[in-house]
Structure 1
Amino acid sequence: MQPITIRMRRGILSVLLYVFLTPHFSFNVQAGTVLEPPQATVTGTVTDSTGKPLAGVNLVVESKHIGTISGLDGSFSINAGPSDVLVFSMVGYKTLSVPIGGREEVFVSLEEDVTVLGEVVLNAGYYTVSEKERTGNIVAIGAEVIDKQPVGNPLAAMQGHLSGVNIVQNTGVPGGGFEIEVRGRNFINGVSDPLYIVDGVPFGSQSLGSTSMSSLIVGGDISPLNAINPNDIESVEVLKDADATAIYGSRGANGVVLITTKKGRAGKTRFDAHLSTSLGSVSHFLDLMHTREYLEVRREGIVNDGYGDLLNDPAFDFIWPELKTWDSERYTDWQEELIGGTAYRNNVQLSVSGGSAHTQFLVSGALQNETTVFPGDFNYKRASVHSNLNHRSKNGRFGLNLSTGFTHEVNDLPAADFTQSAYTLKPNAPRVFDEQGNLNWENNTWDNPLASLEETYGLESNTIISNAVLSYSILPDLVVKSSMGFTRYRLDSRRTLPSSARNPGDGHTPQSSSSLTTNGSYRESWIVEPQIGWKKQWGGFAVDILVGTSFQEETAQQLVQRGKGFPSDNLIQNLAAAETLEIITDTDSEYRYNALFGRVNLKFQDRYILNLTGRRDGSSRFGPGKQFGNFGAIGAAWLFSNETFLANSDVISYGKLRGSYGTTGSDNIGDYRFLDTYDVTGQEYDGTMVLEPTGIFNPLFGWEENRKLELAMELGFFKDRLLVNTSWYRNRSSNQLVGIPLAATTGFSQLTGNFDATVQNTGFEIDFRSINIKNRRFSWSTNFNITVPKNKLVAFDGLETSTFSNRYIIGEPLTIVKLYRSHGVDPETGSYDIEDYNGDGEISSLEDRQWVEDFAPELYGGLGNTLSLGNLSLDFFFQFKKQRAYNTMGFGATPGYGNNMPRAMLDRWREAGDVATYQRASGGLSLIPGTGPFQEVSNLAVSDASFVRLRNISLNYEIPSRDSGLDVNVYLQGQNLLTFTGYDGPDPEQPSNTRLPALRQITLGLQLSF
């Protein structure tokens, strides 16, 4: 391009037009001329210290709005003048300035930099902040950790990795849900879900499943988060304290989980293929009685109940077929039969990405097929498509980011969980199939567990998440943008119960026993958030201001119907053929929300930081005069490592004191709770459908409030090779929104309102990161986190006289359980000695349940290590938790009942003077109720359930490409491989005998890139 000269006599208008049309050029109006624009194209390559090309290196021409990114092979091309300076930067490497000096080719080698804390950028939702300069508490997990875990739900990949975030998997069945708490339970109503934001769009995590559909997925909890493919995630940030969450106002009381999906990078078009296959199995079986042991204890129990003589009377053989008609030598390991199978998961993902310095794209598609450990041909299928387009104009002023994801799920599962049957079925029960391959009912003497295979349960869901962000720089320091998002979640499920699934000996006919239950639900939401941001720096003082507003609307519908009495099982899929039709649930709701929010960040001399955030929320879930609430926070930080007295320290390389205080809130109570509401009962009166009242008018209740306080210190040693972050927090939640119980005579069970109750969560968190060894050939790094939480009900006016008096105690956690106190087995009587607390001579009243146990964890955390030697890397991560839970005695405390039981029950009382763990055997036939049921909810039914679990291990080998352009990575991964615990139940993480525990999995995978 030839030099351009503008003569002043053409007028100022010509100059202004030229400046606007050529924003890349720098002008210096002297003697009627303008400085030369860039005249040459400079090319080159960026490598690391070993000569390996570096992709994704940021490259800018110093003092100009010109930049690019190095490609996959490290190459770059940029327009620059002969006297310009190129600045190369990349996280993990030292920034390098290189004068061009008239060259047309520039070859650069970047040096690794251990000190990268200031360059790590965290997503804080409406803004980004470096880890070094954040004033709030934000913890993050990246794709480098998520990709190494063979999981189908993002929450599964987060377990144990983040301080202050407690995640429990509800079931090992594919598609099941998770429970998550960020810094404990804040509200009496039990709602603990944080706010989920996916690429800037709020995403509803509440299941639209129905408890009427399937007992396999606990509570109908089909997790909507399964629609987010973990392999599509770039990072997950969790916002915890007031400074981080207050900008989300009423939606941030339980924390905020920000999920950011992957984006394309500039460079040559890149194709990636990811193939993996997994094998899963139950990791631990209970030690149950064998046939001889079971029959001995069973017979003993019947004799103890006084019915021993009837054992010899053939007329009563039908009562105890296990002792009389079944094969007494037969033994079946029902755990092996019902939950001992192998689950397979096959996953295929293909993606293409690339682009120029101004426009990058990514499109990926994935297919997953996963089976269960149950008998039968059941599976969960998921197909997902993810795309992202990122564009910025040449002058850098206009920006566009478009992200879209679509997921289709099909879950074909049995209608019931076989886990409880696996633990309780009699060991000498008959074969499940007869010689003809039909279900064996053994002369109608038992309920065949595989009858559930005759039932069908199917679920299909579609999820769309889409977001567009438009931005424009009006001035170099002033940016306006708007985020526009849309989500839609549709779920359809059906469950059939044919008469063939019932014991024919019970006299069932299709008309009397067959049923079809259907659930059709959807949730749809849109949100628009215009924003304006201004940044300015004067010397050592910088200000960053953000102002925005939110407009959101969400609609939801759910219709659950049940048809009964089909003339034939062949017509069971047709509701119109049912004799009766019942509407179980019929809801239609609409939720509107709007807010005004703002942030002011002040920084002085790169060491004193003040952050102010605020939000005014409006919600349609409250009545007139109560719809708006104000929330805000203040956060401050002192980077004392930037002070002169530490400037030359060889030990402390980074030090920061920070603190925050503020308020967030909650309107998470459901829609229309302040209005009179009615629901369809599904019944008719004189030909008219009956409505029943479900809610009573109360416009006086308002926002729940959570006041959060935090103090923290962050330290870095030896050029940040060792980082230690410690935090203390106290959250106090008041104005609790709960259902106030009403007398039955009012016609309503409860009235939604505010209780003058305060719940407090305090805790101490430590995050530790270290780079133990790092050189050209070998590196070793360690991550550790631990959380010590404490929950307490601080105040509750009128608790003693309320219906909550049997559930809560002031000064104790919300997670307590009131139990009987047992002194063990009385050596003289052989019965459990249960303490009569109120002294009325009976053990039956709730007043006798005064022993308090807390099932919340006392502490939890994780320890991970990453080792790398050349092209070989090894990652392993241990999760640990200290807690208490129901042991196997909580699932059954009386030997001799009809079901099978743990072998530990052989230590039972048999005669006077015996010192035993379990009481005398009983066949469950005694007319005098025993103390066994009380023992099941006593202090002795609770024990330590602490554990250390090898949550994940990953071995990766990158095959040298030899300049072929093909990158190949082979890996072997394990999930839940080992668990170290003294707990005697099925699984300490999820202590239940009715749900399938999380599976042990081994995965072999292959990644190809070219």
Structure 2
Amino acid sequence: MKNKLIAKYRQFLYCMLCLCIHSNTIQGLEVFPFQQSEISGTITDAQGVPLAGVTIIIKGTQKGSISDFNGTYAIPATKNEVLVFSFMGFKTQEMAIQGRTQWDVQLETDVTTLNTVEINAGYYTVKDKERTGNIAKLEAKTIEKQPVNNPLAAMQGHIAGVDIVQTTGLPGGGYQMAIRGKNFMNGSTEPLYIVNGVPFGAQSLASLEISVGINAGNISPLNAINPSDIESMEVLKDADATAIYGARAANGVVLITTKKGKAGSTRFQAHLSSTLGQVAHFLDLMNTEQYLEVRREGIVNDGFGAFLDNPAFDFIWPDLKTWDQTRYTDWQKELIGGIAYRNHAQLSVSGGSEHTQFLVSGSFQKETTVFPGDAHYKKASVHHTINHQSHDGRFKINLSSIYSVEHNQMPRTDLTGLAYTLVPNAPALYDAAGNLNWENNTWNNPLASLEEEYQAQIHTRMANLGLSYHVLPHLEFKTSLGYNTYGMDSYKTLPSSARNPKLGFTPENYSSISTNSATRQSWIVEPQFDWKQAWSDVLLSVLVGTTFQQEATDQLVQKGTGFPNNRLLRNLSAAKTLEVKQDSDSEYKYQALFGRINIQWKDAYILNLTGRRDGSSRFGPGKQFGNFAALGAAWLFLENGFLKHSKVFSFGKLRGSYGTTGSDNIGDYKFLDTYSVTGYDYNGTSILEPTGLFNPLFGWETNKKLEAAVELGFFKDRILLNTVWYQNRSANQLIGIPLATTTGFTELTGNFDATVENTGFEFEIRAINIHSKNFQWRSTFNMSLPKNRLVKFPGLETSTFANRYDIGKPLTIRHLYHALGVDSDTGLYQFEDYNEDGHIRSLDDKQWIEDMAPKLYGGLGNTLTYKNLTLELFFQFKKQQAFNPLVSAAAPGFNTNGSVALWNRWQHPGDTNPIMRAISGLDPSVFESIENQSASSAAVSDASFVRLRNISLAYRLPKNLSGGCDLNVYLQGQNLWTLSNYDGPDPEQPSSIIMPPLRQMTVGVQLGF
């Protein structure tokens, strides 16, 4: 009996020991706490910075541990065992214990990272070495070095094949993004954005009824995402990478992944920064003397010189008669010459055990403008993630969410256009009493627009829940559930106080307010199975899943006019007249079945097959479903070839892909008869007007993508070269087919048998030029050579598109007159008469073609590190054409200022100057010459540039000086220097009425403890 009890007791101890071992498993690494001695220490990099998340295992076993946020670790072991330290981006090191209990380790950076870097492909992850598709990655370490408010701004110039243009220099504005050019004739180049697995609608809900200089209807929803919260951004470009997203990925995919907590002790991080911004480049405008001379000259040239000496006509030319003829005001300095401030504060706390990790981050930002007044933009956001896995690692759950509030209070008018055109001798802004100066009703004071008001309140919520469970050792079930809401409430006011009081405007007959209330809500559920099985030489992965998505959008735009007083301006019920400008709601439903099969043989041959069947509510019966698939293949030719042991080549891969994606990007209900509110009533009844015709026959746009690439590594991957050729062909174009005006409609949405082709080359180089203990120098370079052309368009010559497109030419061309200079006899512009009929006509003589798309673009970055000091410089370059100032001001003499280039004008018969004679604006017979010049080849010039997009100087204080904390101080610059021959506000944003991107300087500090 006693022996049985002892056996039972031993069995109990054995079970308890197994239970303890099982409960301390960390992703397959068993932690044994019941050892006789414990080895501990701190793990740092070459600069002494603690490394969190380093894996420590006992060689030849599965026993291990992980370092915490302070880089410290502890692991039980015997004196004869060997510890193995491994961490992504660093060389693996082995240390024999030899009876020691304290061991501090310094890991050396590993220049070879292809085997360890994981790329997020959306539904799966893949090692950089093994990917068959074209997926570019931008990491947090690059994003954090740029003082920007929008994630897209951090991407500018860094990724080959991705062209991003900032649409305004004012806070809260939007960006235009194109991945490998323009695929569809409907104009949209917007890719699919996925944030933590949840599709995010980047289309603005701003109303053109309330458009102001800040956005012109383009407030970017991506402003809701704090760039400091982003862990990585991946751009999916080719068919192999995008086909698994089907119809939503015709223009590419951008995956945004936010940061997560890591195992270790609780860690607090604070980040404070302050930014100063200014307009980077002022135009060279005429001074008072030059302006007055061409102004008088223009009046004389038009035959009205005799009236200049008649006092009865002084009111017509106050700039020449009543205003101070010696006064000069630099209106660029007065209206857009201020300093914009941005203050940013962020605090985060993170930590957790090996099974549960968390992160909570909160940030606040306030940014002003360079305009006079108190216009500002404020944003507050909260981001959190929590990850948990069971002790056996079979069950995993992660929850992430983002909530942000934006308050945008901007001037209703962008003062940039006035800064370039106000005459230099215009009166003072304020009178002696400090009131707005109207100079006896002779001008419109530009600061009156500050009485107008624009405000937008934006709320964004994003949440994602991911669940996974290993049903079998090789089979995992997982599902992703996402929810997203985006709401905007905005208004603009136009009070009578913003106009000259002498003009008789009152609140009752003039004051108005326009309001916009819009929401967009969406949810998505994606259950899927992932099966993986490995044999001796073969690794097989199979992914099958389905998508259920629904999106609803509501928008109400109203305008109220006539108020008892301006204090009631924001009360629509007090308006004398109330109009409903837009009242719409729509619902979008989407379902899909997707799959992926990936085969790897001998770690050298990889085959990847993806497919998706999509269903969209935007098409009529019988047209709702489309099938999209792609095949990608790669050959790692150094793995088993004769170059395997080469001292020059360290990596070699040939890859290619072909497949199709589609698009339903046409808006909701386009196949149905649609109606909208006109905003007017008839005997108290709202009036509807038809806006769309029934057409259930159109279907999916298709984009066929072909790609071939060579990836090479040299000298142990010290140099990595990626060369890509691609061809995208988009067909079955969804465009507005023109209709006869007698039908009451201008167009009918439908498929058109037109084909658009995008081809090009992309080059990427990453190099580690110097890598020593105390000094490192790394370089990156990318360049894109895109080409776009319209391959096929039946009946183009006889269609209404004849003056927009040409077969064999890009979609981005402009048909212009061919400018021949100034006629030396008349002083007027002259143009080539292509049809030789003696007249210059739009359709017949606009045969000069200019392509406005970039011919070449890319970026060059260098990172130099000496001990704790890091200097980073990134240059962006682009070769392109753009409209110059002649597009808006082609002649001198008007009562507006202009470029000093207008001074070089025709004055006498026989002159060969490039600018026409001065005019007053009172002779309409010369207007045609001016308008034709603004639409001619002379209005287009080279806008190529090289720009120092970003520079960063950072210093990490040694631990003994920072009190044991991680303390990093930095100085950053954005758009500091631009080399360009372009004569305009900015070569990348050439508009003369919109604020260009600012030059910014940022000082900041990051503290972790």
State whether TM-score is above 0.5. Answer: yes
Q: Which amino acid aligns with 1:488?
A: T
2:385 paired residue among 377, 383, 388 = 388
Q: Which amino acid aligns with 1:991?
A: P
- 2:992: which partner in 1? 993
- 1:347: which partner in 2? 344
Q: How many residues align?
A: 996
CA deviations over 1:25-66 (Å, ceiling 9, x no partner): 99xxxxxxxx99874374423344676643221235678776
Displacement after TM superposition at 1:110 (Å): 3.5
Displacement after TM superposition at 1:83 (Å): 8.6
Displacement after TM superposition at 1:570 (Å): 1.8
Displacement after TM superposition at 1:619 (Å): 0.6
Asked if 2 retains the 8 angstrom alpha-carbon contact of 1:253 and 1:665, the reply is: yes
Displacement after TM superposition at 1:102 (Å): 8.7
- 1:781: which partner in 2? 778
Gap runs ≥5 in structure 2: none
**Is residue 719 of structure 1 aligned with residue 716 of structure 2?**
yes
* 6 and 643 in structure 1: CA distance in 2 versus 1, 3 angstrom threshold: farther
* 475 and 82 in structure 1: CA distance in 2 versus 1, 3 angstrom threshold: farther
Q: Which amino acid aligns with 2:1002?
A: T
Q: Distance in 2 between matches of 1:263 and 1:923?
A: 65
The correspondence of residues 818-837 of structure 1 with structure 2, limited to 5 A, is: 818-837=815-834
Q: Which amino acid aligns with 1:935?
A: Q
Displacement after TM superposition at 1:141 (Å): 0.9
Asked if 2 retains the 8 angstrom alpha-carbon contact of 1:65 and 1:396, the reply is: no
SS in 1 for 2:1003: strand
1:937 paired residue among 924, 935, 938 = 935
- 1:745: which partner in 2? 742
The correspondence of residues 767-846 of structure 1 with structure 2, limited to 5 A, is: 767-846=764-843
CA deviations over 1:134-181 (Å, ceiling 9, x no partner): 100011111111111111000111100000000000000000000000
* 971 and 19 in structure 1: CA distance in 2 versus 1, 3 angstrom threshold: closer
SS in 2 for 1:119: coil
Greater shift in the superposed pair: 211-220 or 601-610: 211-220
Q: Distance in 2 between matches of 1:407 and 1:142?
A: 23
Asked if 1 retains the 8 angstrom alpha-carbon contact of 2:31 and 2:65, the reply is: no
- 2:952: which partner in 1? 954
Q: Distance in 1 between matches of 2:369 and 2:168?
A: 12
Displacement after TM superposition at 1:887 (Å): 1.1
Q: Distance in 1 between matches of 2:956 and 2:425?
A: 52
Q: Which amino acid aligns with 2:772?
A: N
- 1:29: which partner in 2? none
**Is residue 323 of structure 1 aligned with residue 317 of structure 2?**
no
CA deviations over 1:757-790 (Å, ceiling 9, x no partner): 0000001000001000011111100000000000
1:411 paired residue among 408, 411, 414 = 408
SS in 2 for 1:644: coil
Q: Distance in 2 between matches of 1:324 and 1:641?
A: 82
Displacement after TM superposition at 1:16 (Å): 13
**Is residue 123 of structure 1 aligned with residue 120 of structure 2?**
yes
- 2:259: which partner in 1? 262
**Is residue 44 of structure 1 aligned with residue 40 of structure 2?**
yes
Q: Distance in 1 between matches of 2:738 and 2:7?
A: 84
Q: Distance in 1 between matches of 2:60 and 2:333?
A: 70
1:471 paired residue among 462, 468, 472 = 468
- 1:984: which partner in 2? 983
* 591 and 561 in structure 1: CA distance in 2 versus 1, 3 angstrom threshold: same
Displacement after TM superposition at 1:839 (Å): 2.9
* 988 and 5 in structure 1: CA distance in 2 versus 1, 3 angstrom threshold: farther
Q: Which amino acid aligns with 1:73?
A: N
**Is residue 973 of structure 1 aligned with residue 972 of structure 2?**
yes
* 838 and 98 in structure 1: CA distance in 2 versus 1, 3 angstrom threshold: same
* 687 and 17 in structure 1: CA distance in 2 versus 1, 3 angstrom threshold: farther
SS in 1 for 2:129: coil
1:455 paired residue among 449, 452, 457 = 452
Q: Which amino acid aligns with 2:969?
A: V
CA deviations over 1:275-318 (Å, ceiling 9, x no partner): 11010000100110111110000000010000000111112111
Displacement after TM superposition at 1:686 (Å): 2.4
Q: Distance in 1 between matches of 2:34 and 2:860?
A: 54
**Is residue 849 of structure 1 aligned with residue 846 of structure 2?**
yes
Q: Which amino acid aligns with 2:991?
A: S
- 1:205: which partner in 2? 202
SS in 1 for 2:802: helix
SS in 1 for 2:216: helix
Displacement after TM superposition at 1:544 (Å): 1.1
Q: Which amino acid aligns with 2:988?
A: E
- 1:1003: which partner in 2? 1002
Q: Distance in 2 between matches of 1:25 and 1:971?
A: 41
CA deviations over 1:596-653 (Å, ceiling 9, x no partner): 1111110011111101000011111111111111001000001011123012100000
Q: Which amino acid aligns with 2:254?
A: V
Asked if 2 retains the 8 angstrom alpha-carbon contact of 1:676 and 1:696, the reply is: yes
TM-score normalised to structure 1 length: 0.95
2:671 paired residue among 662, 671, 674 = 674
- 2:182: which partner in 1? 185
* 43 and 552 in structure 1: CA distance in 2 versus 1, 3 angstrom threshold: farther
- 2:866: which partner in 1? 869
Q: Which amino acid aligns with 1:850?
A: Q
The correspondence of residues 401-800 of structure 1 with structure 2, limited to 5 A, is: 401-800=398-797
Asked if 1 retains the 8 angstrom alpha-carbon contact of 2:38 and 2:77, the reply is: yes
Q: CA RMSD in A?
A: 2.4
Q: Distance in 2 between matches of 1:6 and 1:575?
A: 87
Displacement after TM superposition at 1:78 (Å): 4.6
Q: Which amino acid aligns with 1:961?
A: K
- 1:216: which partner in 2? 213
1:314 paired residue among 302, 306, 311 = 311
* 668 and 808 in structure 1: CA distance in 2 versus 1, 3 angstrom threshold: same
Q: Distance in 2 between matches of 1:396 and 1:204?
A: 34
Q: Which amino acid aligns with 1:788?
A: L
Asked if 1 retains the 8 angstrom alpha-carbon contact of 2:84 and 2:95, the reply is: yes
Greater shift in the superposed pair: 713-722 or 496-505: 496-505
Q: Distance in 2 between matches of 1:138 and 1:16?
A: 48
**Is residue 282 of structure 1 aligned with residue 290 of structure 2?**
no
SS in 2 for 1:923: coil
TM-score normalised to structure 2 length: 0.96
The correspondence of residues 888-907 of structure 1 with structure 2, limited to 5 A, is: 888-907=885-904
Q: Distance in 2 between matches of 1:687 and 1:64?
A: 83
Q: Which amino acid aligns with 2:998?
A: L
SS in 2 for 1:231: helix
* 311 and 1004 in structure 1: CA distance in 2 versus 1, 3 angstrom threshold: same
CA deviations over 1:959-993 (Å, ceiling 9, x no partner): 11118321211111110000000000110010110
- 2:161: which partner in 1? 164
Gap runs ≥5 in structure 1: 27-34
* Overall identity of the aligned pairs, in %: 62
Q: Distance in 1 between matches of 2:540 and 2:555?
A: 48
- 1:30: which partner in 2? none
Q: Which amino acid aligns with 1:59?
A: I
**Is residue 302 of structure 1 aligned with residue 305 of structure 2?**
no
* 43 and 472 in structure 1: CA distance in 2 versus 1, 3 angstrom threshold: farther
SS in 2 for 1:665: strand
Asked if 2 retains the 8 angstrom alpha-carbon contact of 1:878 and 1:950, the reply is: yes
Q: Which amino acid aligns with 1:284?
A: H
Q: Distance in 1 between matches of 2:316 and 2:6?
A: 107
Q: Distance in 1 between matches of 2:17 and 2:673?
A: 66
Asked if 1 retains the 8 angstrom alpha-carbon contact of 2:31 and 2:75, the reply is: no
Greater shift in the superposed pair: 146-155 or 50-59: 50-59
Displacement after TM superposition at 1:917 (Å): 1.0
